[in-house]
Structure 1
Amino acid sequence: MPHDHDGPLARLRRGHEELVLRLLRTHGPLSRGELGRLSGLSRTTLYDIVTVLVDAGAIVATPPAAAERRRGRPVDALSLHPGAGQAIGIDFARRAVHVAAVNLAHEVIGSASAPHAADLGREERVALAERLVGELAGGRLRLGALSGIGVGVVGPVGERRAQRAGTGELVAQEGEFTARAEAAGSHADLAVLLRKRFGVPVLLDNNTRLAALAEATWGAAAGVQDVLYVRLSHGVGGGLVVGGALHRGAHGLSGELGHITADPDGGPCSCGKRGCLETVASIGAVLDAHPTAADLPSFLAALPDDPDARRVLDAAGTRVGTVLAAVCNALGPEVTVLGGELAAAGPALLGPVERALSAHLMPVSRPLLDLRAAVLGEVAGALGAIALVLHESPLLTRYPAPESVE
């Protein structure tokens, strides 16, 4: 009697395989126990699925290091096979391009950055990104194995969907942007240009939101499911990770913390409103409030012995903490992460932020406050772009053949 390879049992099995692969792609290495809890599969079913995927070369089981072993049977860590594919993240920041590469076992292969003039054209920025990607891992990155590219850009990014084309590959689609139509067209053109350059699917989002996802995946809030992130840079932005997933909002406009009103009587903002947080807590606003500082490096260098610099940071940090308290009262994140170039000021900024945040939180929430400094630095947006690919790519269809597994 012939086997029904497309019957209900076969489809159920494929669904279980997809679930296991998606969990490993999203979370990175997991033990069988952790995989069982996340998947909800029975122990017998999970054992069967894992055995098939290991035999097929889709996943690998790695025993714990000698220093991590405890009494009893060693607990292997399951992960996607590193050779099953790679993902690249590119962050097109205002004045620099940052790139990073990660394999599907969540191992960072390399990262690189290069500054550029703020008015550098789009095609020149893409060429710069291509050069940096070529230099990753000493030029040994196998572009033919790429499973996708995640891209971070400055400004609002509308919803976009990824769907299978007739070839079985992903195609990025840019939906309508709800603001800045000119930027929308630029972002859509950028996705198409990158797709042509690298020949792989492209997923695109706001780079500050992606930095939030990176800090929740690899950084200061690694493993935390509900994270609020704010970045104090040339602009002020933020991101929210809810239940381990990036929150974009109904129209892709979430995370605009810089445009929450911080001073109703304040000056004009580039968004068209007045008194936004960005007008008092961006790099430009901080430098403008200091009597002599010419740039951020000189401002930070003078900070230990400069009372004016400390006064400026205290005022900016108080505004930031007050705004964050309102957001925390509404959303209740487990961890709040402070990033961006201004965060390099350390306790001189973090202290005022934490004091104002605590003062304006509901009393019941104050003991739960967990404010952390970001740790990923300028490459956070690129790493978050990779996390976007790892979180959203569908089932990988091209596993390495069993004979190629080392």
Structure 2
Amino acid sequence: MLGGMHDHDGPLARLRRGHEELVLGLLRRHGPLSRGQLGQRAGLSRTTLSDIVAELVASGAVVASAKDPGPRRRGRPVELLTLNPQAGQAIGIDFARRAVHVAAANVAHEVIGSASAAHAADLPWPDRIDLADSLVGTLAGGALRLSALGTVGAIGVGVVGPVGHLTSAPPGDAQGREELLAKRFGGPVLLDNNTRLAALAESTWGAAAGRRNVLYLRLSHGVGGGLVVGGALHRGTDGLSGELGHITVDPAGARCECGGTGCLETVASIGAVLRAYRAAGGRAADIAELHSAADAGDRTAHDVLHTVGGHVGAVLAAVCNAVGPGVIVIGGEVADRGTALLTAVEQALDARVLPIARDRVTLRRAELGDVGGALGGIALVLHESPLLAGYPARPDRTDSGPADPDPQEDA
């Protein structure tokens, strides 16, 4: 008999643990998968996969359930595998320019709840964090609290502006604000740009769910974007990826807060669109009224949105030609309603995207709304959290630390 067969730290045991971590990681990243889908992604033999799944189900780490009922078919019903929903939760928070959005989900990718509250643009950071804490307290019947991380795996936080190695906290007094977040949350916090997180959310739960190459653009009080490349969120050097709002569309245009001239943000943000409409003789207190005017047949409102859509489409086409996404998702208040803007975007894409690629790109409206950034924070946790990467801690393990990150799946 080979003595190594019973050595929990031997090469076979380590190989098995590696296979378990692979399966758990795939379920953590992608949510419920059939055995066939899991086998395709894992690259394991059918026998090995069956053995690993059987043990994970027996241990309670993974649960199996029948697929949603549909038309009756012959043969065995398709079974979905997912992480045990009771294994833990994650909280996502989006500190937007004028609002706080929160959401919570379990490790099985089931969204528990979400909430939002608007605030003044100059609200101090301690008050924003208090507001986030209060909103989280409304989720799941008050069972989730930022101060109760014993039951919450981790928190993903989205903020406005670049977030990377050199800018690891919100703009301004970075060190002070990062300390505020860490002190209040009392546990692991993953920070990223909120628009980039919205891109991740749309590719996880929303309009581009299941798609591995996604270009996302949000037209709101600011204009920003995000890229999901090969199923991974692309941050770029020091978190500078996705600043689509600062691509020049009119060299003779208005001065942008970034220091440039004629950036997309100077023509496609909420403030810029309202100014253009009012300058043309229209009257609207906010972007919702402008959309209502366009829906009612106001030609001025229609023309303003169509012009904005042309600028947006030109930028998206240029990015498409550079990175080749399969799906473009547009969100934010400026694009939430009506057809004038999206029609102009489609026309610009038809005219500017390389002919060989045009029929490979689809344009979709975002589905997750204001809470997209918060859901993206949750997706960030489910993709990256060391707590979840090492889940579950088995009694017979001596090495229960987090698994090494997979560079190809880095979110």
- TM > 0.5: yes
Residue equivalent to 1:266: 253
The answer to whether structure 1 residue 183 and structure 2 residue 189 are counterparts is no
Q: Kindly provide the CA deviation profile for residues 305-349 of structure 1, in whole angstroms up to 9, marking residues without a partner as x.
A: 211111111111100001111100111100001111111232111
Matched residue, 2:319: 327
- For residues 177 and 7 of structure 2, the distance between their equivalents in structure 1, rounded to whole angstroms, comes to 45
Which deviates the most, 1-10 or 79-88?
A: 1-10
Residue 48 of structure 1: how far off its partner (Å): 1.2
**Contact 1:57–1:400 under 8 Å retained in 2:** no
The one of 89, 97, 106 equivalent to 2:92 is: 89
- Could you say which residue in structure 2 is the equivalent of 1:4? 7
Instruction: Tell me the TM-score normalised to structure 2 length.
Output: 0.89
Query: Structure 1, residues 341-396: CA drift from partner, whole Å, max 9, x if none?
Result: 11123211110111112111112222223111001000000001100111112324
CA shift at 1:263, angstroms?
0.7
Moved more, 11-20 or 66-75: 66-75
Distance 1:66 1:322, change over 3 A: closer
CA distance in 2, matches of 1:391, 1:253: 20
Q: Percent identity?
A: 66
* 8 Å CA contact retained: 1:191, 1:204: no
CA deviation vs aligned residue, 1:226-258 (integer Å, no higher than 9, x gap): 000000011110000001110001221000000
Runs of at least 5 residues in structure 1 that lack an aligned partner in the other structure? 159-174, 402-406
- What residue number does 1:208 align with? 195
Structure 2: any 5+ residue segments left out of the alignment?
A: 396-411
114 and 182 in structure 1: CA distance in 2 versus 1, 3 angstrom threshold: closer
In 2, Cα distance between the equivalents of 1:205 and 1:17?
29
Counterparts of 1:46-65 in structure 2, within 5 Å, are 46-65=49-68
**How many angstroms apart in 2 are the aligned matches of 1:397 and 1:86?**
13
Shift of 1:68: 5.6
CA contact (8 A) 2:27 2:83 kept: yes
C-alpha displacement of 1:67? 2.9
Match of 1:294 among 277, 285, 300: 285
Residues 239-318 of structure 1 mapped to structure 2, 5 A cutoff: 239-291=226-278, 292-304=283-295, 305-318=297-310
Note the alpha carbon deviations across 1:262-285, whole angstroms, 9 max, x for none: 011111100001011111111111
* Equivalent of residue 157 in structure 2, options 151, 154, 159: 151
> What residue identity is the alignment partner of 1:149?
I
| Aligned residue pair count | 382
1:340 aligns with 2:335: no
**Distance (Å, rounded) in 2 between the aligned partners of 1:31 and 1:203:** 29
Structure-2 residue corresponding to 1:115: 118
Moved more, 286-295 or 79-88: 286-295
2:91–2:155: 8 Å Cα contact kept in structure 1?
A: yes
Which residue in 2 is equivalent to 1:21?
Answer: 24
Deviation at 1:182, TM superposition (A): 7.9
Partner SS for 1:200: coil
**Alignment correspondent of 1:172:** none
Establish whether residue 41 from structure 1 lines up as the match of residue 44 from structure 2: yes
Structure 1 letter corresponding to 2:308: A
Deviation at 1:128, TM superposition (A): 0.7
Q: What secondary structure sits across from 1:297 in the alignment?
A: helix
After TM superposition, give the deviation of residue 199 of structure 1 in Å: 2.7
Q: CA deviation at 1:192?
A: 3.6
Q: What is the letter of the counterpart of residue 99 of structure 1? A: V
Letter in structure 1 aligned against 2:67:
P
CA distance in 2, matches of 1:124, 1:367: 48
Matched, 1:224 2:214: no
The question of whether the paired residues in 1 share the 8 Å contact of 2:161 and 2:170 is answered with: no
Distance in 2 between the 1:59 and 1:28 partners?
A: 11
Is the Cα–Cα contact under 8 Å of residues 170 and 177 in structure 2 kept in the other structure?
Answer: no
Q: Which residue of 1 aligns with 2:372?
A: 380
Aligned mates of 1:199, 1:231 — CA distance in 2: 31
- Quick one: distance in 1 between partners of 2:233 and 2:188? 19
Q: Decide which moves more: 228-237 or 342-351.
A: 342-351
Give me the whole-angstrom Cα distance separating, in 1, the residues matched to 2:180 and 2:65: 39
Q: 2-side partners of 1:94 and 1:72: how far apart?
A: 53
- Other-structure match for 1:134: 137
How large is the RMSD of aligned CA atoms in angstroms?
1.9
Q: Secondary structure at the match of 1:204?
A: strand
| Cα displacement (A) at 1:222 | 0.6
Change in 2 beyond 3 A, CA 1:199/1:396: farther
| SS of residue in 2 equivalent to 1:238 | strand
Equivalent residue runs for 1:331-370 within 5 Å: 331-370=323-362
Q: Would you say the 8 A contact 2:291–2:338 is kept in 1?
A: no
Distance 1:217 1:28 in 2: 9
Counterparts of 2:268 and 2:153, CA distance in 1: 38
How far is the alpha carbon of 1:184 from its aligned partner?
6.4
